[in-house]
Amino acid sequence: MRVSLFVSCLVDQLWPSVGLAAADVLRRAGCEVDFNDEQTCCGQPAFNTGYRDEARRVAQHMIETYEGDTADAIVMPSGSCAAMVHHLRELFEDDEAWRARAEALAQRTFELGSFLVRELDVEDVGARFDGRVTWHDACHGLRDLGIRDEPRRLIANVSGAELVDVHSSESCCGFGGTFSVKYPEVSVAMLDQKLQAVEQADVQAIVSGDVSCLMQIGGRLQRRKSAVRTIHLAELLASRG
Amino acid sequence: MNDPGTEPRIAHLAANDFPELAKRALDDSTLRGALHHVTDLFGDKRENAVAAMPEWEAMRERARRVKEETLSRLDHYLEEFVRNAEAAGVHVHFARDAAEACSAVEKLAQRFGAQTIAKSKSMTTEEIGLNHVLEDAGLEPVETDLGEWIIQLAGETPSHIIAPAIHKTRGQIADLFADELEVERTDDVQELCSIARRFLRKSFADADLGISGVNFAIAETGSFLVLENEGNARLSTSMPRRHLGVMGIEKLIPRFEDLEVFLRLLPRSGTGQHLTSYQSIFTGPKASPDDEGPDEVHVLILDNGRSALLGDWVTRQSLGCIRCGACLNVCPVYKQVGGHAYGSVYPGPIGAVITPQLAGVEKAKTLPFASSLCGACRDVCPVKIDIPRLLLHLRGKIVTGDGPPHVGRETRKGRFLERMTFRAWAWWMSGARRYRVAGWFARKLQPLGARPGLVQRVARKLSPPLGAWTAGRELRPAAPRSFRELWREQEGSR
């Protein structure tokens, strides 16, 4: 399987280790991995703030980038970006040609964890991580793409890792893109409530499939001088103890 | 477009104060404790009720289709309802907006010579601010639902669609009763209920008119329904000699058999009940003097901005809402700030889409942004309203409009800067080379912004979002080298 890795703008600029880990995990699962240098962003920040023209412009760049890419699948270490690609068609309601191109891209686009489990039928990538961890369901992966069991199964197969499910795993971390800076107090209050259950669970790390959530959660944990750390699913799956 | 001359309005609207009201709510630990308790309770009960129904998803889809069928041919079903209701002896009235509706009710009450009016819970009469109009006319509307009565005594608006006094603790209610009713203070629930019962029973007996809301109106039979748990709606619609039901145009369903799916969805979604304790179906007044029930039945059908949403399938969805309140209980924003922060009688996710659509986006432009778009509301909605999509639709209308800024803290300059930032961002992100160059510059400039002291203070001042982020969270710095640099190096050496 030839995979083109879309790392997302956040991983490219802030969290390159997640991209490298994703490539490593995909290779271990038997994929040939490529990185298309034309990639930038999926357009979500503008789309979610209401700037549709701006989002459309970036979306068109995204679509063109991958039309010239013959990979079998485009895989992203982000449920949020993958969900955005599935929403791109909504930007082209009056433009049938572009809508078809957006839909064609969506059909080849997958989030990393669900790609491993659903498309490659791989649940054990031979990772090792010693410690108790909990999973944070990032909203768009969970509710737009229906990703719930896949990452949990992958984590359960990491030797040495103990997965603790907390009741707040499905509640939003409060990031929400520009929401986090338009209503910062509400955003942080949402996260604090979620973290209450996490802190009671006595875990070493919170694992998630989206760096945007991890930026929010990690930034707050750091401010609160918490010992709990954040780790991306790709990094967990790439770790060898 | 609305009819010329009409002015859709939501009573006591302060939706643009969301930023301040939300902050005030966050500081109120009593409120937040009550909110967490009740929303979790309702949420858990709903989840249990749904888990026991394997056909839940099929029922939601059926309900959505019935609503879509109705709303796409609403003129037809309205005519059918009116024809059948009138044939059953119901007097039908229409109101284009809140002011017309209130004045129609006031005139009716005066024609009946009504003094005391027994009201059962109705979001529509809250929307139009009916009680104040009636009180100003010297009449005495008495809310007979316990929660509604509590907030009427307190002079407040509801903070939840089905549990209007959700924000009040038992202790606060004990104080309120002692102050307003001049009874001895007690915080025993049984005693508080019996005090309420004593006062409310008298109102049912005294009332010359009963006013109820309408959960569903059936075109095929001209009937309308009220669902409730306390029996107060049954009493206020049967003891007074006249009964008036107030409904929005969207309450219609085509056939009696369609009720089945809604009667199963609504109580489970709202409170987790299999059925509400009372379902009252009204089809005209009593047929003979020996029968029970009112001599006269009236129904008032209200538009107040609704018909303007019918033309487009995205906006039309919001008229499918059956006011169950499920989206409030799962909304992480509502759970933190409660209903009053929204500054509208319709709070929470559904309120954030209904309020600006009925009252006009200019009057509620903070609300569509008061969401992290987590989608929990969409998952629980019994009629499958795509609330996140509606929020995005409204955000688009707001940011491309020419109105004043949409968030309290924002200035006109901030609004301009946001627009310019996204324009510049779109340019940078639509070409790989300029994106790379921008990333490189950001990395070079970053050490300046990260330096504590004056430079950082200036950076935060220049970039309000940066200040907003760092008030409660550390900022993740840009990596020393981007992924693409590292990748090129790694793959070059492979």
pLDDT, tens digit, for every residue of B317-365? Answer: 999 999 999 999 999 999 999 999 999 999 999 999 999 999 999 899 9
- Check: CB of residue B46 under 8 Å from CB of residue B333: no
pLDDT at position B400, please? 84
pLDDT band with cut points at 50, 70 and 90 for residue B450:
low
Neighbours of A150 (CB within 10 A): 22
Angle at A182 between CA A179 and CA A187, to 5 degrees: 55
Amino acid in position B58: A
β-bridge mates for residue B150, sequence order: none
Whether the CA torsion B338, A194, A10, A227 is positive or negative: it is positive
Give B310 to chain A, closest Cα distance, Å: 19
Give A192 to chain B, closest Cα distance, Å: 10
Name which CATH class applies to A2-117: alpha beta
Q: What are phi and psi of B480, to 5 degrees?
A: -55, -35
- Check: CB of residue B11 under 8 Å from CB of residue B128: yes
Q: How many CA atoms lie within 13 A of A126 on its CB side?
A: 7
pLDDT at position B465, please? 85
The residue extents of the domains of chain A are: 2-117, 125-238
Residue of A nearest to B469 (CA): A181
Whether residue B241 lies inside any domain: the answer is yes
Neighbours of B47 (CB within 10 A): 15
What percent of chain A has pLDDT above 90?
Answer: 98
B473 touches chain A (CB under 8 A): yes
Question: Which residues have a Cβ under 8 Å from the Cβ of B29 and sit 6 or more positions away?
Answer: none
H or E, element range at A206: strand A205-208
**Domains A2-117 and A125-238 fall in the same CATH topology:** yes
Q: Is A92 helix (H, G, I), strand (E, B) or coil?
A: helix
Which residue is associated with the tokens 């409060």? A174
Whether residue B399 lies inside any domain: the answer is no
Counted domains in chain B: 2
Chain B contact set for A43 (CB, 8 A): 429
pLDDT at position B452, please? 63
In this model, does residue B417 exceed pLDDT 90? no
Chain A contact set for B395 (CB, 8 A): 48-50
Structural domain boundaries, residue B469 = 431-492
Whether the CA torsion B183, B184, B189, B191 is positive or negative: it is negative
pLDDT band with cut points at 50, 70 and 90 for residue A241:
confident
Nearest-by-Cβ selection for A179 from B335, B371, B423: B371
| Separation of alpha carbons B84 and B81, rounded Å | 5
Whether the CA torsion B128, B129, B134, B136 is positive or negative: it is negative
| Separation of alpha carbons A17 and B72, rounded Å | 52
CB-CB under 8 Å, B332 with A171: yes
- Check: CB of residue B324 under 8 Å from CB of residue B162: yes
β-bridge mates for residue A76, sequence order: A111
CB pairs below 8 Å between A and B: how many? 199
pLDDT at position B409, please? 53
- Tell whether B303 and B436 lie within a shared domain: no
In this model, does residue B250 exceed pLDDT 50? yes
Q: Determine which of A83-92, A132-141, B205-214, B471-480 has the lowest per-residue pLDDT on average.
A: B471-480
Which residue is associated with the tokens 């006269």? B296
Whether residue B6 lies inside any domain: the answer is no
Q: Quote the distance between the C-alpha of residue A13 and its chain's center.
A: 15
- Burial code (b: 16+ CB inside 10 Å, e: under 16) for B295-329 equals ebbbbbbbbbbbbbbbeeeebbbbbbbbbbbbbbb
| Separation of alpha carbons B395 and B416, rounded Å | 15
Pair of tokens at residue A138: 């990032």
CB-CB under 8 Å, B426 with A54: yes
Whether residue B87 lies inside any domain: the answer is yes
β-bridge mates for residue B301, sequence order: B94, B247
Q: Determine which of A149-153, B416-420, B426-430 has the lowest per-residue pLDDT on average.
A: B416-420
pLDDT in tens, B51-81: 999 999 999 999 999 999 999 999 999 999 9
B29 touches chain A (CB under 8 A): no
* Mean per-residue pLDDT over chain B, rounded: 93
What percent of chain B has pLDDT above 70?
Answer: 95
Q: Quote the distance between the C-alpha of residue B297 and its chain's center.
A: 28
Supply the ipTM of this predicted assembly. Answer: 0.96
In this model, does residue B47 exceed pLDDT 90? yes
Q: What are phi and psi of B215, to 5 degrees?
A: -80, -40
Give A61 to chain B, closest Cα distance, Å: 5
Residue where a domain stops, chosen among B247, B278, B309: B309
Average pLDDT over residues A162-168: 95
pLDDT at position B55, please? 97
Give A75 to chain B, closest Cα distance, Å: 16
Whether residue B320 lies inside any domain: the answer is no
B481 touches chain A (CB under 8 A): yes
Whether residue B126 lies inside any domain: the answer is yes
Our CA dihedral for B386, B361, B405, B32, rounded to 10 degrees, sits at -60
Residue where a domain stops, chosen among B267, B294, B309: B309
Our CA dihedral for B283, B285, B286, B287, rounded to 10 degrees, sits at -80
Average pLDDT over residues B220-225: 98
In this model, does residue B404 exceed pLDDT 70? no
Whether residue B143 lies inside any domain: the answer is yes
In this model, does residue B455 exceed pLDDT 80? no
pLDDT at position B467, please? 87
Q: Which among B398, B427, B470, B473 is the top mutation candidate for probing chain A, defined by the most A β-carbons within 10 Å of its own β-carbon?
A: B473
Q: Is A157 helix (H, G, I), strand (E, B) or coil?
A: coil
Residues of B (396-455) whose Cβ lies below 8 Å from A:
396-400, 407, 418-419, 422-423, 425-432, 435, 439, 442
Question: Which residues have a Cβ under 8 Å from the Cβ of B151 and sit 6 or more positions away?
Answer: B143, B157, B158, B159, B164, B165, B168
Question: Which residues have a Cβ under 8 Å from the Cβ of B488 and sit 6 or more positions away?
Answer: none
Whether residue B131 lies inside any domain: the answer is yes
Residue where a domain stops, chosen among B309, B340, B368: B309
Give A5 to chain B, closest Cα distance, Å: 11
What percent of chain B has pLDDT above 90?
Answer: 85
A125-238: CATH, from 3.40.50, 3.30.460, 3.30.160, 3.30.200: 3.40.50
| Separation of alpha carbons B334 and B32, rounded Å | 10
Chain A contact set for B377 (CB, 8 A): none
Order of strands across the sheet that contains A73-76: A32-35, A2-5, A73-76, A109-111
What percent of chain A has pLDDT above 70?
Answer: 100
Q: What secondary structure, in 3-state letters, does chain B show?
A: CCCCCCCCCCCCCCHHHHHHHHHHHHCCHHHHHHHHHHHHHHHHHHHHHHHCCCCHHHHHHHHHHHHHHHHHCHHHHHHHHHHHHHHCCCEEEEECCHHHHHHHHHHHHHHCCCCEEEECCCHHHHHHCHHHHHHHCCCEEEECCHHHHHHHHHCCCCCCCCCCCCCCCHHHHHHHHHHHHCCCCCCCHHHHHHHHHHHHHHHHHHCCEEEECCCEEECCCCEEEEEECCCHHHHHHHCCCEEEEEEEHHHEECCHHHHHHHHHHHHHHHCCCCCCCEEEEECCCCCCCCCCCCCEEEEEEECCCCHHHCCCHHHHHHHHCCCCCHHHHHCHHHHHHCCHHHCCCCCHHHHHHHHHHHHCHHHHCCHHHCCCCCCHHHHHCCCCCCHHHHHHHHHHHHHHCCCCCCCCCCCHHHHHHHHHHHHHHHHHHCCHHHHHHHHHHHHHHHHHHHCCCHHHHHHHHHCHHHHHHHCCCCCCCCCCCCHHHHHHHHHHCC
Whether the CA torsion A91, A97, A103, A105 is positive or negative: it is negative
| Separation of alpha carbons B128 and B293, rounded Å | 27
pLDDT at position B1, please? 46
Chain A contact set for B430 (CB, 8 A): 40, 57-58, 60-61
- Check: CB of residue A8 under 8 Å from CB of residue A70: no
Whether the CA torsion B80, B81, B82, B83 is positive or negative: it is positive
Pair of tokens at residue A206: 């919170």
β-bridge mates for residue B280, sequence order: B226
- Check: CB of residue A192 under 8 Å from CB of residue A220: yes
